[in-house]
Amino acid sequence: MAHHFEIYKDKAGEYRVRFKYNSETMFSTEGYSSKASAQNAIDSIKKNCPGAEVMDNS
């Protein structure tokens, strides 16, 4: 699979989500106290991002 979400536990013991494309990390989220919250972040990204605008702040 060329792209996917990963849920992982960081050094502080919090759950984080990272999105990878061709094994390169494109972004990662803030830390969450529960795995369910990390999954909710993935669900929210999938639901809300298809129509996201591009903001050019250059």
pLDDT per residue rounded down to tens, the chain (58 residues):
689 999 999 999 999 999 999 989 999 999 999 999 999 999 999 998 888 899 999 9
What is the rounded CA–CA span in Å between residue 35 and residue 12?
14
Residue 47 CA, distance from chain mean position: 13
Please tell me the pTM assigned to this model: 0.82
Beta strands in the chain (DSSP E): 3-9, 15-21, 24-28
